[in-house]
Chains A and B, each alone.
Chain A
Amino acid sequence: MFRSFPFSSSKDVEQSFDATRGSQRSRSTGYRTPFSCSLLTCVAVCFLSGCDTSIEKFPGNDLYALVAAKREADDKPVDLTAIDSTLESLFGTPNDPQIPEPLAAIVDVELLKRSAGPQSSDQAGVHFGLFREHCATCHGVDGSGKGPAAALLTPYPRDLRPGVFKFKSTGRADKPTHDDLLGLLQHGIPGTAMPSFATVNDEDLEALIQYVIYLSCRGETERRLIDQIMVEDMSAESLLSAAQASVAEIASHWKNASINMIPVAANEAKTNLAMSDDRAWYDDETLIAKGKALFHGPLANCASCHGEAGNGNATTLDFDDWTKEYTTKLGISPSDAASIKTMKAAGALTPRQSLPRKLQWGIFHGDDSDEALYRRLVVGVAGTPMPGLLLKDKPDGVGAEPADVWAIIAYIRSLSSTALVARNP
């Protein structure tokens, strides 16, 4: 778990990305002085040991309100009071959730109630307050990705509110399927702080998946309302009907996610493998050589970001979309300390570089099955700089063929140290 050591990894990252800022760095990071270290530890211990704060209402998305204002060259964010009360009437509170009608088809209110509220368990051992038990420390009580532990983690926990998810079997702009989310909970995300929850029973996992969808839908609705109120004043009635229309649209995306699953083309290298041959389909020198050429070639241009032979040494300075939303998308540089301070005051976390995967580690954040890797290459990874390869739409067209994608996967699999050892005993 190369990234699991919070202090050293964040220091390394900040060193590499603001190498020119010199002495300014120590003032702005706050991790460097002994006093702030011990203060941070105290705070972290206090939160992580479970001091119970009363959570009556969902906090408003102040960061997005500021982002929406800055987009309009305005420094003053819109007042969220009216929006928050509209959302409360539809979605309820952290302790008492409600399901707006369009979401009722995918979310079960009884399961949702077990995810919500404070933690407890009954005599039969049934747990309540599951989201706070398992998720809120990192993801926050509102799914903002800004739980008490968030600032210590690289990469940061997911902010569910934009409704963008990285690891899924569907298209780049689509929602993940139910099974995609279940897979993430069961396997965790290797290489990040997201653990596996395989020890949690199936019904609890189901309750958590539904709460994730509920929080994401609520968060996305809030953002749309903020966008709309930036365009024109809205009465309580018009806010409510706008919210209901948004929920209906967002809920339909969740409901239809499985329709948008990306088909995985047949892998001829696998089907052509003789029954008697017990090696893996990707353990083929010709195929690996083909993949190597594609990896370093102009069509896919993988090496430019992932480094030669996937060594992760290419120079990059890039950020994920969650970070860009409050920085580069507004024309603010992530190393502009003064502007970042304003965004952090509204709820942003310190921008952290999004690093291209060092493929030689052989650790893939999402599912590392053949199908998942195929989709990763063809769709890219939503919310990140990782693009999707263009597949040819006709035999003599421009672009990649499925066989090219499988060859690249074979090459990538050959890069990890275990694979190298196996091939060169």
Chain B
Amino acid sequence: MSLRVVLPIIAVAFAVPCASFATAETGTVKAQFVFAGSAFDPAAIDPNKDAEFCGKHPLVNERLLVNKTNNGIKNVAFFVYTGRGGSKVNPPKSEPKTVILANDKCRFEPHVVVLQVGDTLEITNPDTVGHNANINFFANQSQNPMIPPGGSVKVKIEKPELGVVPVACNIHPWMLAQVVALDHPYAAISDEDGMVEIKDLPVGEKLVFRINHEAANSGIKAVTMGGKTETLKKNLIEIEIKPGMNDLGKIIIPADTLTP
């Protein structure tokens, strides 16, 4: 047989097991967090500090943001939980990266930031008024630097955080954000449509995920997924990850669980 015939056959012979080997190794989980209550306009904030500057931009209470079109919940933190009763994961080593948290037009952007141990949180101030970032870490060193206009402060994440860490600007007290710092990359924060997607998850086992939201004062005790009510203990849910796409569809959070 000529090389022209053999080579493609060999190429395919290698490709097929490689392809199935790759998809067999990891899975992707996708979901849409939806609010069971009615969508509403978030309350407007009347800035009482630096009103001349901050008042120029429309500010709202970002504690609970529900999409008016599809009831998607923004800023739900969804991540693999490795604490007590959680999963053990062994992620591949990843390059440390810098994640930006900006004091932008008198609000924090983004509202929830996710980092891995080894990453750097860079807090910037593109505004023309001074802000501070009071970060009350559990495990890493707590910080509270003033960030002058045009300035920035870098914070290296040395340890994983036990809980979601609040960030506040004390000068402009409506400015709040959250930091999620984990020792693995399997985390996502829902967008304006409530969508989350976590790639490259290990397959063939049930993974414990935590669902966390700022407006869930008494925890998330139950959600509806695939038409069934799932009871959560400590905001944890177990999901079996199959190779390829695991589309969980809508995860509906009851109306009384989230208070704006």
Residue of B whose beta carbon sits closest to that of A173: B141
**B246: Cβ under 8 A from any A Cβ:** no
Within 8 Å by CB of A388, from B84, B128, B146, B219, lies B146
Alpha-carbon distance between A298 and B219 when the two chains are bound, in angstroms = 39
Chain A residues in 8 Å Cβ range of B212? 73
Bin the interface of chain B by size. Answer: 35 or more
A230 contacts B166, C-beta separation under 8 Å: no
**A283: Cβ under 8 A from any B Cβ:** no
Chain B residues in 8 Å Cβ range of A387? 132-134, 144-146, 170
Mask: chain B, 112-148; 1 = CB below 8 Å from A; 0 = not = 0000000000000000111111101010011111111
Give the number of A-B contacts (CB < 8 Å).
Answer: 116
Mask: chain A, 373-390; 1 = CB below 8 Å from B; 0 = not = 000000010100111111
A301 contacts B144, C-beta separation under 8 Å: no
Chain B residues in 8 Å Cβ range of A316? 170, 173
The verdict on A299 contacting B148 (CB below 8 Å), with A318-B170, A332-B217, A390-B153 known, is yes
B130 contacts A230, C-beta separation under 8 Å: no
B151 contacts A304, C-beta separation under 8 Å: no
Alpha-carbon distance between A388 and B132 when the two chains are bound, in angstroms = 9
Chain A residues in 8 Å Cβ range of B132? 385, 387
**B181: Cβ under 8 A from any A Cβ:** no
Residue of B whose beta carbon sits closest to that of A171: B141
**A300: Cβ under 8 A from any B Cβ:** yes
- Most B CB contacts (10 A, CB to CB) among A317, A321, A390 go to A390
Chain A residues in 8 Å Cβ range of B151? 390, 398-399
Alpha-carbon distance between A170 and B151 when the two chains are bound, in angstroms = 24
A298 contacts B84, C-beta separation under 8 Å: no
Q: Interface size of A by Cβ–Cβ distance < 8 Å? A: 44
**A331: Cβ under 8 A from any B Cβ:** yes
Separation in Å of the A79 CB from the closest CB of chain B?
14
**B214: Cβ under 8 A from any A Cβ:** yes
Separation in Å of the B231 CB from the closest CB of chain A?
13
Mask: chain B, 155-185; 1 = CB below 8 Å from A; 0 = not = 0000000110010101111000000000000
Alpha-carbon distance between A329 and B145 when the two chains are bound, in angstroms = 19
Alpha-carbon distance between A230 and B128 when the two chains are bound, in angstroms = 43
A300 contacts B130, C-beta separation under 8 Å: yes
Mask: chain A, 214-240; 1 = CB below 8 Å from B; 0 = not = 000000000000010011110000000
A305 contacts B171, C-beta separation under 8 Å: yes
Chain A residues in 8 Å Cβ range of B235? 72-73
Separation in Å of the B60 CB from the closest CB of chain A?
18
**A290: Cβ under 8 A from any B Cβ:** no
Within 8 Å by CB of A227, from B49, B162, B234, lies B162
Chain B residues in 8 Å Cβ range of A232? 84
**B216: Cβ under 8 A from any A Cβ:** yes
A231 contacts B144, C-beta separation under 8 Å: no
Within 8 Å by CB of A385, from B84, B144, B145, B216, lies B144
Alpha-carbon distance between A231 and B160 when the two chains are bound, in angstroms = 12
* Known A72-B163, A329-B166, A332-B217; 20 more pairs at CB < 8 Å: A73-B216, A73-B235, A173-B143, A227-B138, A227-B162, A233-B84, A297-B130, A298-B149, A300-B130, A301-B130, A301-B146, A304-B171, A304-B172, A324-B136, A324-B166, A380-B145, A382-B142, A390-B145, A398-B148, A399-B148
